[in-house]
């Protein structure tokens, strides 16, 4: 099953994608995570990604399409995927259709998480991630242990693009370039709008109802 988790920054795509992947037994394909991995390697490509990410701008389509093409060719991605933060432009949506069609696959559903802007800002700016195990905390909603480190002992870091100024820029990019992609999927009746406000479990239950799992 191929599912797209759609929504603005901090809407809960990554949190819910992890839950859906263990339920559906398919991998999470998160372009933001893939770009951060590339950036962590210090490669030229990673440096190029960083130039856009640090400003809250979308990375140009071409390198994104290359990343996705490679990922979809991996053996673990042959039975479906949960796409998290991809596609974000009409060119990416068209390209994903074409790539999936090569293996006679198509998007089953687009789950569009809706969260008010001010809540998104709170969620993104409060996020802290463990640099050892990758566990995500939130300073208000899911605070880390009082030691200030992860329960595994790892150091907690804040994403450089999780400042209020950059989160608002990311949101504007979402409105200008990504939200129009919903129309592309709505024409085909693939979109379910999901209320993203509530506990992580409540939102997961809404997603599961939509998918019938």
Active site positions, annotated: 13, 88, 127, 159, 170
Residues 28 and 19: their CA atoms lie apart, in Å, by 10
Residues 9 and 79: their CA atoms lie apart, in Å, by 27
Segment 141 to 160, residues that bind ligand AP5, using CB under 6 A = 141-142
Segment 59 to 98, residues that bind ligand AP5, using CB under 6 A = 59, 64, 85-86, 88, 92
123, 130, 206, 207: which one contacts ligand AP5 (CB under 6 A)? 123
72, 124, 130, 190: which one contacts ligand AP5 (CB under 6 A)? 124
3, 4, 11, 65: which one contacts ligand AP5 (CB under 6 A)? 11
Residues 154 and 135: their CA atoms lie apart, in Å, by 9
Instruction: Record the tokens describing residue 106, joined without a space.
Output: 């198509």
Residues 10 and 47: their CA atoms lie apart, in Å, by 23
50, 127, 181, 194: which one contacts ligand AP5 (CB under 6 A)? 127
DSSP tally for the chain: helices H, then strands E? 9, 8
Residues 213 and 208: their CA atoms lie apart, in Å, by 5
Interacting residues toward ligand AP5 by CB under 6 A: 7, 9-15, 31-32, 35, 52-53, 56-59, 64, 85-86, 88, 92, 123-124, 126-127, 136, 138, 141-142, 161, 170, 198-200, 203
């Amino acid at each position: 099953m191929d599912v797209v988790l759609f929504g603005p920054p901090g809407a809960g795509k990554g949190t819910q994608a992890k839950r859906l992947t263990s339920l559906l037994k398919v991998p999470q394909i998160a372009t933001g995570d893939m770009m951060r991995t590339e950036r962590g390697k210090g490669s030229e490509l990673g440096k190029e990604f960083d130039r856009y990410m640090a400003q809250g701008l979308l990375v140009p389509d071409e390198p994104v399409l290359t990343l996705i093409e490679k990922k979809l060719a991996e053996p673990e991605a042959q039975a479906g995927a949960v796409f998290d933060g991809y596609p974000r432009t009409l060119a990416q949506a068209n390209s994903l259709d074409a790539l999936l069609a090569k293996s006679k696959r198509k998007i089953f559903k687009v789950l569009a998480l809706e969260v008010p802007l001010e809540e998104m800002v709170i969620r993104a700016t409060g996020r802290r991630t463990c640099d050892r195990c990758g566990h995500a905390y939130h300073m208000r909603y899911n605070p880390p242990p009082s030691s200030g480190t992860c329960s595994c002992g790892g150091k907690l870091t804040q994403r450089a693009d999780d400042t209020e100024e950059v989160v608002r820029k990311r949101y504007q990019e979402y409105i200008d370039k990504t939200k129009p992609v919903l129309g592309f999927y709505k024409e085909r009746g693939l979109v379910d709008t999901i209320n993203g406000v509530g506990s992580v479990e409540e939102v997961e239950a809404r997603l599961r109802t939509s998918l019938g799992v």
